[in-house]
Amino acid sequence: MTHIPLATLVAAAVLVATAGAGAGIATRDAPPIDLLQTAAPQSPRAADQLMTSLVHAGTRLVAAGARGTIVYSDDGGLHWQQAAVPVAVMLTALHFPTAKEGWAVGHDGIILHSADAGATWSRQFDGNQANTQMLEWARTRVAAARDALERIGKGDRRAAEDTLAAAEDGLAGIEQTVSFGPSQPFMQVWFRDRRHGYAVGAFGMAFATTDGGATWTLIADRLPNPDELHLYAIASPSPEVLLIAGERGLILRSTDGGQHWQARHDLAAGGLYGLIALPQANAGMLAYGFDGIVLRSTDLGNSWHTVDTGTRSALYGAAVSGEEVLLVGNNGTRLRAVDAHFEPLPASDGRPLTAAAHGAAGWVLAGGGGVAATAGTPPMGVERDE
C-alpha cells in the first residue's frame, strides 16, 4: 500500500487514525479519553478549527472537522453556530440528501445523523461495529477458501491455495486492525435519498444502508479492491451509476445501483480525493486529487481523460455555483472551471483548503484556518484587485 503525503489533510486523517491512535488520547497522569464517548468541546471559536467538509443543507451551510466540531450558518457563512455532537473524533465528510436530514462520518468509523439541518447529531454506527462485521466477513472468506481447496482433492490446487493464502492474510490484517480498536476512518458519505446511502474509507472499508442508517452493512466483499486501497469519494452521475474514487488512481464503477462493480486502476499516479458533476448539461464528471490531477468523464465514468489544470498542488475539494466549478487544495490553491476549462484564482493565505460552497454573499472556503466567507470571484478572464 502506498503512502500519501502528509501535506494532504484528507490523507493525514487516514495516517493518524491507522497509526494506532484509536478512540482514545492518553496523558501521562490520566487514563485514555474515549473520544467516541466524549462530546465535542464547545468553543466560541469553533469555526476556526480545522474543517474538512463544507456542504449545503437547504439554504443553510454546514461544516465539520477537528475534535468532532460541526458548525452551521444561516447567513451565507458570515456567522456560525456550533452544533451539539456526541463524539470528539475528527470528522471528515458531510452529506445532506434533503434540507433537514444529513450524515457525517469520520475517524474511528463514526457515522452520525442529523434530522434538523445539522444543529444536533446522534450516533448511528462506529468502528467497533465495523470491526465486528469485517472480522466475520474475513473468517467466512477463509472458511469458504478452505472448503474449496478440500473439494479439489488431488487436482490442480495452486489457484485454490493462492485464494486461501490471500484470505488468511486478509484475516490476519483485520485481526491486527481490531486489536487497535475502532481505529479506521471513513473518508466520505453519500446518500441517494434519505434511506439509501454509502460510507467509504481507509483500507477499502465500505458500508451501505437501505433504512436511513438504522443498520449499516459491509459491502467491501462486492468491490474489486483486493489491495484494500483507501476509498476517498463516492458520487452518482445517473440514477443507476455509482462511482467510487480512491488511492493510486482507482475508480470503481457500478451500473446497477451498487450491486456489482468494475475497477479502473492507475488512472492517476496518486490518490483521487473527490468527484463532482459539471453543471452544464451532458458535461460529465470530474475526479481530482494528488499533484493537481483532474480527470474528466463524459460517459458516466466509463472512460476518463486528463485535463490540464496548470497546478501541481493537491486538490481536496470542489463546489458548484451556476455554471462554475471551484476546486480548492493545498497552499490555498483555488481553480475555477467552466466546462472543464480552468483558470487559477489568487491563492488565499497559503493554508490548505479542503472544501468550498457558495453562500448568499459569495464563496465560502474551509480548511486549515477554519471556515469563512470570502469576496465574490470575478467572471472568467477578469482580473480582481486583491
Cα distance between residue 252 and residue 242, in whole Å: 8
Are both 290 and 343 inside the same structural domain?
yes
Domain membership of residue 382 (yes or no) is no
Give percent helix, percent strand, percent coil of the chain, each to the nearest 5.
25, 35, 40
Which H or E element spans position 209?
strand 206-209
The per-residue pLDDT for 25 is: 53
Are both 109 and 245 inside the same structural domain?
yes
Are both 137 and 121 inside the same structural domain?
no
What phi-psi label fits residue 310: left (phi over 0), alpha (psi between -120 and 50 degrees) or beta?
left
Strand partners, 339: none
Are both 299 and 333 inside the same structural domain?
yes
The per-residue pLDDT for 152 is: 84
- CATH number assigned to the domain comprising residue 241: 2.130.10.10
The sign of the dihedral angle between the CA atoms of 305, 310, 316, 320 is negative
State in Å, rounded, how far the first CA of the chain is from the last one. Answer: 43
Are both 167 and 247 inside the same structural domain?
no
Are both 209 and 229 inside the same structural domain?
yes
Are both 342 and 209 inside the same structural domain?
yes
**Model-level pTM?**
0.88
Cβ 264 vs Cβ 284: under 8 Å: no
Cα distance between residue 341 and residue 294, in whole Å: 11
Cα distance between residue 241 and residue 280, in whole Å: 19
Are both 187 and 162 inside the same structural domain?
no
Strand partners, 234: 244
Which H or E element spans position 144?
helix 127-152
Cβ 58 vs Cβ 76: under 8 Å: no
Non-local (6+) Cβ contacts of 32 within 8 A are: 24, 25, 26
Domain membership of residue 296 (yes or no) is yes
The per-residue pLDDT for 355 is: 97
Residue 197 one-letter amino acid = G
The per-residue pLDDT for 178 is: 86
Are both 259 and 152 inside the same structural domain?
no
Estimate to the nearest angstrom the gap between the alpha carbon of 334 and the chain centroid.
Answer: 20
Domain membership of residue 237 (yes or no) is yes
Structural domain including 60 reads: 9-126+182-373
Cα distance between residue 229 and residue 197, in whole Å: 21
Strand partners, 184: none
Domain membership of residue 344 (yes or no) is yes
Burial class (CB in 10 A: 0-12, 13-18, 19+), 379: exposed
Are both 137 and 268 inside the same structural domain?
no
The per-residue pLDDT for 350 is: 83
State the total domains in the chain. 2
The per-residue pLDDT for 213 is: 98
Are both 71 and 149 inside the same structural domain?
no
Domain membership of residue 264 (yes or no) is yes
Per-residue pLDDT of the chain (386 residues; tens, 9 = 90+): 333 333 344 444 433 333 334 445 544 566 678 999 999 999 999 999 999 999 999 999 999 999 999 999 999 999 999 999 999 999 999 999 999 999 999 999 999 999 999 999 999 999 999 999 999 999 999 999 999 888 887 667 888 898 899 889 988 988 988 888 888 999 999 999 999 999 999 999 999 999 999 999 999 989 999 888 999 999 999 999 999 999 999 999 999 999 999 999 999 999 999 999 999 878 899 999 999 999 999 999 999 999 999 999 999 999 999 999 999 999 999 999 988 889 999 876 788 999 999 988 899 999 999 998 885 554 443 333 33
Are both 31 and 54 inside the same structural domain?
yes
The per-residue pLDDT for 170 is: 85
Single residue among 178, 193, 208 that ends a domain in this structure? 178
Q: How far is the CA of 190 from the CAs of 29, 97, 307, 342, in angstroms?
A: 41, 8, 25, 26
